Amino acid sequence: MMLIGDLKYALRLMSKKLGFTVLTTLVMAVGIGLSIYLFSFFHTMVFKELPFEDGDTLVQISASQNGLKNAGTINLHDYQEIKQSLRGLSEFGSYKTESLTVSGRDGARRYSGVSAEPNIFKITRTKPVLGREFRAEENQSGAERVVVIGYDVWQNLFAGNSKALDQIVRINGESHRVIGVMPQGYVFPSNTEMWLPLREKAEQMSRDKASNVYGLAHVDGDAELEEINRELTVVMQRIEQRHPKTNNGISAYVSSIPMATAADGLPVIYTVHIIAILVLILASINVGNLLLSRAIERGKETAIRVALGAPRSRLISQMLWESIIICCVGGIIGLLILMWGLDVTEVITATFNVDKPPFWWQFGIDGFTIKLFASFVLGTILLTGLLPAWKNSGADFNAVLRDGTRGALGKKAGRLNRFLIISEIFVSMTVLITATVLMVGNFKATQADYGADAENILTAEVILNGEKYSTPESKAQFSKTLQSRLENTNGIGDVMISSALPGNLSSTPAMALEGKEYVKDKGYPRANYIVVAPGSLAKLGVELKQGRYFNSSDEGLEKSSVIVTDSFASRHFPDSSAIGKRIRTVELDGDQPNWLTIVGIVEHTIQGPSYQESGKIASVFRPFSQAPRDQITVAMRMKADKAQVTKSLRQTLASIDAELPAFRIETYTDSFSRHTDPMLFITTIFLLFGIAAVILASTGIYGVMSNTINQRTQEIGVKCALGATNKRIINDFLMTGVKQLLWGGIPGLLAGSAMGFAMSTMLGIGSADLVAVVIVLTFVISGTVLLATYLPTKRALEMEPSEALRYE
């Protein structure tokens, strides 16, 4: 009953000061909502368990290159050795992703597929809803070709008919019998639509013929991932020593599947988490300070309650109600905003991939979010409510009740205020610097020059699989025919063919430079190795710096010419021109070294997202006819609209080969957007954080300082009475403000700069940018502190000294 009475009283008080209540509630909503959003976002993307039984122990074995964890694949032989050597893991499996062309009466269509060992479904504890899984004997080379299809494929191709089992589907030119259908929503390991047996055994094939795969396993009960990774590093070092040519710089790591692609971004993610907590602390300090000043205002009321016999615990609980209400209501509002934010996030992130996003990217309120919400609300209640309640309930109330015993600000109250101000400044500085660096870094990544002119170009991918394209000659002929027919089609201008356009990832084999010695086959540099049809580089606008582009004299398998980027030339031939020098690929050479002569140097092209390390790797281009590939990208300058050009492309392809579909058809600028959109999205989030932090910081600092000076109004009156001029008083207070700025600002500057520096290194921001950010924000915070000191002091000085002396 008493608690209900206290609650009603608290509500009545809060409704009397509605502006204050709304302000504090909104501040809390912003703090809680934004913080939980960040935690929830990264939890969903990287840390959440996969939705399978034993999903928490399911891990992937991926390759790293020169320390960079870029979720690469490992040679099947290496996987076999790891499986035999590594402790702490069990239920090993492996898979590789495939691009599958399914052809039928209606033409050909591409599906995302996976070739895997038969236990792939057992690993995820998931059974087909129809039919069965693979058998061991189906995993042999030469065995009958079978396929397990996904639920959506079952609906599309077979209308969900149970008679789909044992039907024949033509995949990559080969007939496959459907043996099973997976449940709806099952797309393991990542938006997979069809599963095929791997049909490869390491012991039955040589190393250079074996595929590259990802490993899968479950972590044993008490095994630690760090220990497993240490052992894995040792195993990979052993393999590197035995096979330096192919494994130079290659290691491997074990992580959850979501973590595999984010492993190198973990420092950034953890930094963002720290910022989220700091924003919450900033909001809490703001609200706590406001509640503290309210508590001080109500000092006399509290004194009367004490005089009437209220125990301290009751006083504390009465004062806690305001904090409880503000934090709970603010938290709920924050949660509602969060729900909306996560819904929007799901829609936006779905556009980051051409295919469907990873199946674990399901943003929404889940158990983790609820638990986090509850702990944040509880934490903020304690932080914002307990301190004022404790402080005010223990004050000297005799002194308060006696009339005229008010003095200048008490020593303890002064200390508390100073602590609040310094904390506010410290947290603000740290959050603002780090958030701004993240924002600037992300934004810069979206503005990178990839090296090509992407305007008005439509791109598409074609995979040449099947017996028809088993020879280099057939691939070379196909690309020539395709290019020529497309260029003669209405609505299509220049046609460029490449294994990887600027902006796309490429393979990075080891290269050797003629005349340089590689002891024990170590130290080979890596470069993007891209094949292009002659004229493609010029048509794409990749600027020639020296030498020449490819021409008809470079056509033919027997020719050996190459163009390098200026980044390659300056790195490996710093003292002389690279033109005429010779290089070769180490792994792809075959039996005889095949020296390639550099005939031209072009500007650097960024292969892959600019903000990743892959963007800095130099590139080497070869004519398509000299080293044809299976997977090609066609780029067409559009003279008609996109739909028309798409139609022309499909028709032209069908005219060459009806079983060859084009897929990932999108404009070149859209493909860049897929790199930049995630970064822009994150930039927007950080911008929101930055704005929230600036508002919280400036209002918080102003509020705390204004409150402090307000409490010292009487002291100002005393000083005036003693003969201090306005200027003198303002200077004194400004000096105090400067001291507090230094106490809070210097540690904040150091902490923020340290975090900012770490982020800038990862995001490729130069020191000049970081210094500029730090200087600007130092001015912002300093200006806020000084203004927050000057304005309230000036206001207090507008009173006559007699008024200030009597001020309560």
Per rule CB under 8 A, count of chain residues that contact other proteins: 28
Provide the 10 A C-beta neighbour count for residue 470: 12
Site for other proteins contains 723 (CB under 8 A) = yes
Which region among 522-530, 602-610, 694-702, 712-720 touches other proteins (by CB under 8 A)?
A: 712-720
Least Å from the CB of residue 303 to other proteins: 16
Site for other proteins contains 544 (CB under 8 A) = no
Residue the block writes with tokens 């954080």: 689
How is residue 588 annotated by DSSP? S
Which region among 118-126, 134-142, 251-259, 403-411 touches other proteins (by CB under 8 A)?
A: 403-411
| Own/partner pairs, 335-343, CB within 8 angstroms, 24+ separation | 335/32, 335/33, 335/36, 335/365, 335/373, 337/29, 337/33, 338/33, 338/36, 338/37, 338/40, 338/365, 338/369, 339/364, 339/365, 341/33, 341/37, 342/37, 342/40, 342/41
Least Å from the CB of residue 710 to other proteins: 16
The Cα–Cα gap between 707 and 792 comes to 8
Site for other proteins contains 728 (CB under 8 A) = yes
Question: Which residues make Cβ contacts (< 8 Å) with residue 644, sequence separation at least 6?
Answer: 491
- Do 681 and 267 meet the contact criterion of CB atoms below 8 Å apart? no
Which region among 67-75, 121-129, 371-379, 398-406 touches other proteins (by CB under 8 A)?
A: 398-406
- Do 150 and 193 meet the contact criterion of CB atoms below 8 Å apart? yes
- Do 705 and 789 meet the contact criterion of CB atoms below 8 Å apart? yes
The Cα–Cα gap between 435 and 441 comes to 10
The Cα–Cα gap between 451 and 670 comes to 16
State which of residues 119, 233, 726, 782 lies at the interface with other proteins (CB under 8 A).
726
**327 vs 720, which CB is nearer to other proteins?**
720
**505 vs 799, which CB is nearer to other proteins?**
799
Site for other proteins contains 407 (CB under 8 A) = yes
Q: 495 φ, ψ to 5°?
A: -120, 130
**515 vs 723, which CB is nearer to other proteins?**
723
Least Å from the CB of residue 798 to other proteins: 10
Which region among 92-100, 186-194, 517-525, 725-733 touches other proteins (by CB under 8 A)?
A: 725-733
Least Å from the CB of residue 4 to other proteins: 39
Least Å from the CB of residue 329 to other proteins: 35
State which of residues 18, 159, 722, 768 lies at the interface with other proteins (CB under 8 A).
722
Residue the block writes with tokens 């009156």: 717
State which of residues 263, 328, 513, 805 lies at the interface with other proteins (CB under 8 A).
805
Least Å from the CB of residue 796 to other proteins: 14
State which of residues 408, 505, 742, 750 lies at the interface with other proteins (CB under 8 A).
408
Site for other proteins contains 714 (CB under 8 A) = yes
- Do 688 and 680 meet the contact criterion of CB atoms below 8 Å apart? no
Site for other proteins contains 707 (CB under 8 A) = no
Site for other proteins contains 170 (CB under 8 A) = no
The Cα–Cα gap between 181 and 154 comes to 7
Give alpha helix (H) positions in 447-533: 472-487
Least Å from the CB of residue 687 to other proteins: 42
Question: Which residues make Cβ contacts (< 8 Å) with residue 748, sequence separation at least 6?
Answer: 425, 426, 427, 428, 429, 430, 433, 781
- Do 89 and 221 meet the contact criterion of CB atoms below 8 Å apart? no
Q: What b/e readout covers 431-444, taking b as 16+ CB neighbours within 10 angstroms?
A: bbbbbbbbbbbbbb
Site for other proteins contains 367 (CB under 8 A) = no
**637 vs 719, which CB is nearer to other proteins?**
719
Site for other proteins contains 731 (CB under 8 A) = no
Least Å from the CB of residue 439 to other proteins: 41
Amino acid occupying residue 150: G
- Do 510 and 585 meet the contact criterion of CB atoms below 8 Å apart? yes
The Cα–Cα gap between 763 and 773 comes to 15
Site for other proteins contains 231 (CB under 8 A) = no
Across-strand partners of 772? none
Site for other proteins contains 724 (CB under 8 A) = yes
State which of residues 411, 517, 519, 808 lies at the interface with other proteins (CB under 8 A).
411
Provide the 10 A C-beta neighbour count for residue 517: 7
- Do 543 and 580 meet the contact criterion of CB atoms below 8 Å apart? no
Which region among 366-374, 492-500, 567-575, 716-724 touches other proteins (by CB under 8 A)?
A: 716-724
State which of residues 173, 299, 547, 801 lies at the interface with other proteins (CB under 8 A).
801
- Do 495 and 636 meet the contact criterion of CB atoms below 8 Å apart? yes
State which of residues 175, 184, 241, 405 lies at the interface with other proteins (CB under 8 A).
405
Least Å from the CB of residue 413 to other proteins: 9
State which of residues 474, 552, 655, 802 lies at the interface with other proteins (CB under 8 A).
802
The Cα–Cα gap between 538 and 550 comes to 9
Site for other proteins contains 746 (CB under 8 A) = no
Least Å from the CB of residue 707 to other proteins: 17
State which of residues 3, 307, 656, 721 lies at the interface with other proteins (CB under 8 A).
721
Residues within window 92-111 making contact with other proteins, judged by CB under 8 A: none
State which of residues 391, 406, 468, 485 lies at the interface with other proteins (CB under 8 A).
406
Site for other proteins contains 718 (CB under 8 A) = yes
The Cα–Cα gap between 397 and 394 comes to 8
Which region among 70-78, 316-324, 328-336, 724-732 touches other proteins (by CB under 8 A)?
A: 724-732
State which of residues 55, 410, 491, 493 lies at the interface with other proteins (CB under 8 A).
410
State which of residues 653, 720, 751, 755 lies at the interface with other proteins (CB under 8 A).
720
State which of residues 237, 375, 725, 731 lies at the interface with other proteins (CB under 8 A).
725
- Cα-based distances in Å from 566 to 209, 303, 422, 504: 33, 78, 51, 19
Least Å from the CB of residue 790 to other proteins: 17
Q: Which of 91, 142, 85 is nearest to 117 (CA)?
A: 91
**620 vs 720, which CB is nearer to other proteins?**
720
Q: Which residues bind other proteins (CB under 8 A)?
A: 402, 404-411, 414, 714-715, 718-728, 800-803, 805
